[in-house]
Amino acid sequence: MTAIHQGARIYVAGHRGLIGSAVLRRLEQAGYRQLITCDRAGLDLTDSPTTNRFFDEYRPEYVILAAGRVGGIIENLRFPADFIMANLAIQGNVLNAAKRTGVRRLIFFASSCMYPRECPQPMAENALLTGQPESTSLSYAIAKLAGMQTCIANNLQEGIPRFIPLIPNSVYGPNDNFNPESGHVLAALVRRFIEAERQRLPDVTLWGTGRPRREFLFVEDLVDACLKLLSEDIGNLELPANLGSGIDYSIAELAEKISGLVGYKGKLRWDASKPDGSPQKLLDSGRMASWGWKANTCIDDGLRKTIDWYRSRIDPDN
For residue 1, name the pLDDT band (cuts at 50, 70, 90). very low
pLDDT in tens, 127-181: 999 999 999 999 999 999 999 999 999 999 999 999 999 999 999 999 999 988 7
Quick one: 283 exposed, middle or buried, by C-beta within 10 A (0-12, 13-18, 19+)? Answer: buried
Q: Which residues are catalytic?
A: 140
Rounded Cα distance between 271 and 112, Å, is: 25
pLDDT at 2: 44
Q: What CATH fold (topology level) applies to the domain 9-314?
A: Rossmann fold (3.40.50)
Query: What's the pTM value of the predicted model, to 2 decimals?
Result: 0.94
pLDDT at 245: 97
- For 49-69, letters b (16+ CB in 10 Å) and e give eebeebbeeeebbbbbbbbbb
Question: Could you tell me the residue ranges of all domains in the chain?
Answer: 9-314
pLDDT in tens, 44-57: 999 999 999 999 99
User: Residue 182: pLDDT above 50?
Assistant: yes
Rounded Cα distance between 81 and 181, Å, is: 17
